[in-house]
Amino acid sequence: MPADERLLHPDEALKIVLSQVRRLPVETVPLAEAGGRILAADLIADQDLPPFPAATMDGFAVIASDVSPWREIIGDQFAGTMEGIEITPGTTARIMTGAPLPHGADAVVQVEHTELREDHVVIHQEIVAEGENLRPVGSDLRKGDVLVSAGSRIGPAEIGLLASLGHAEVEVYRRPRFSILSTGDELVEPDQVPGPGQIRDSNRFSLTVAAEAAGAEVVWSGHAPDDETALRELILKRIAESDVVITSGGVSMGDKDFVKAILNEIATVHFRRLFMKPGKPLNFATAGDGTLVFGLPGNPVSALVEFEIFIRTALRAMTGQQHPEPATASAILEHWVAGTDRIEYQRGIVSVDEAGQLRARNTGSQASARLMSLVGANAFLVIQPREAAYEAGERVPVILLQPVSSER
């Protein structure tokens, strides 16, 4: 399949990737395992919560309009039971936070506004409003409300709602199955001592952690030498068993860059080169029953930058997340940045200053093999092509990858 060699704008490339994404199938998991997963169906309240009017304070259940200066205590209403107490004018019952309101009562006077005397209590609050210190039926959730929409990540609040509504099992998208393949004759394992001209394979580990952090299940990872036949077989097998196959290396112009040729042969290649730096080469293809194949360059930084922009976005779309594109903001540059001839994704640190403004600085040398440029980075500074340098104080778009904190 001929793929054109022109440099594609990353935004355009991202659109193509998203157009090839298929939603993953849905699976049912026990509630306790649903944290961090992506909800596959809207969560709709099938009941009112609270289902009974409940006290929000420890105190006394009263009739608001009752003006008796003191009340006879006729019982105790704890949380978790419904005593058959009936409050009438002149009477009250002790009530604890979370307990259902006894019949007849319509308010709770908090214990701090009362004074206990043997078998009765003096109310020191002059005016008690109906409904005071009560959570009315349905005040937290109304039956029929859409509480959490499909495509949302299940965090602490979402799982709390699922539990409250009695969902012992939850329908979530299956985690995407990833295979990660490093290619290159020069690569040795981390526990080996590299010989002359060799380096340790770092991409396999970086990409595995990036994929897992994004919610993928890495079903296979490995290394293959620059051997066309062996590579082709391996890539075909990984395509058959994965939703996403990531390769690193072998997509440039070198004589042993076989990944490119293999993808041309066994897959539909949608684009090959991007108008960006780092990471000009990116072979994006689909194969088999819709498996996405990302042929990343071997440079560790290029590979991770492209992962963040394209693969993480694809992964979000596969699980129906509503805004799959990277989150962008605008930040004030803290230092000058040289002009660039391709869209440059500088690795940087974005923080919030005292005035509440986002400020951005890069992480030093932006050489595309320098993994240190990604250490501690929480953002990419998106530097648009122009001849003139960017001055300190100019605003640039930033892609936020990690939470932003106050200025460090």
Tokens 């200066």 -> residue: 69
**Binding letters toward Mg ion, positions 156-195, x by CB under 5 A:** ----------------------------x-----------
Q: Cβ(158)–Cβ(152) under 8 Å? A: yes
| Count of residues touching ligand AMP (by CB under 6 A) | 19
Residue 295 touches ligand AMP, criterion: CB under 6 A: no
Question: Which of ligand AMP, Mg ion, none interacts with 252 (beta carbon under 5 to 8 A by kind)?
Answer: ligand AMP
Q: Which stretch binds ligand AMP (CB under 6 A): 41-49, 153-161, 246-254, 345-353?
A: 246-254
Q: From the list 151, 249, 278, 281, which residue makes contact with Mg ion (rule: CB under 5 A)?
A: 249
Residue 187 touches ligand AMP, criterion: CB under 6 A: yes
* C-alpha–C-alpha distance, residues 125 and 77, integer Å: 21
Q: From the list 254, 339, 385, 393, which residue makes contact with ligand AMP (rule: CB under 6 A)?
A: 254
Q: Is the CB of 215 or the CB of 250 nearer to Mg ion?
A: 250
Residue 279 touches ligand AMP, criterion: CB under 6 A: no
Residue 281 touches Mg ion, criterion: CB under 5 A: no
Residue 176 touches ligand AMP, criterion: CB under 6 A: no
* C-alpha–C-alpha distance, residues 184 and 188, integer Å: 9
Q: Which stretch binds ligand AMP (CB under 6 A): 5-13, 52-60, 250-258, 269-277?
A: 250-258
Which residues neighbour 316 within 8 Å (Cβ) at sequence distance 6 or greater?
Answer: 214, 323, 324
* C-alpha–C-alpha distance, residues 212 and 209, integer Å: 5
Q: Is the CB of 184 or the CB of 279 nearer to Mg ion?
A: 184
> Residue 304: how many CB atoms within 10 A of its CB?
26
Residue 184 touches ligand AMP, criterion: CB under 6 A: yes
Cα–Cα distances in Å, from 180 out to 13, 28, 121, 212, 401? 21, 26, 71, 11, 21
- The DSSP H or E segment spanning 305 is helix 300-306
Residue 182 touches ligand AMP, criterion: CB under 6 A: yes
Which residues neighbour 370 within 8 Å (Cβ) at sequence distance 6 or greater?
Answer: 301
Q: Is the CB of 185 or the CB of 391 nearer to Mg ion?
A: 185
Beta-ladder partners of 321: none
Which residues neighbour 333 within 8 Å (Cβ) at sequence distance 6 or greater?
Answer: 359, 360, 361, 381, 390, 391, 392, 393, 394, 395, 396
Closest CB 282 distance from Mg ion, rounded Å: 15
Q: Cβ(189)–Cβ(197) under 8 Å? A: no
Q: From the list 68, 88, 252, 268, which residue makes contact with ligand AMP (rule: CB under 6 A)?
A: 252
- What residues line the site for ligand AMP (CB under 6 A)? 182, 184, 186-187, 199, 201-204, 248-252, 254, 297-300
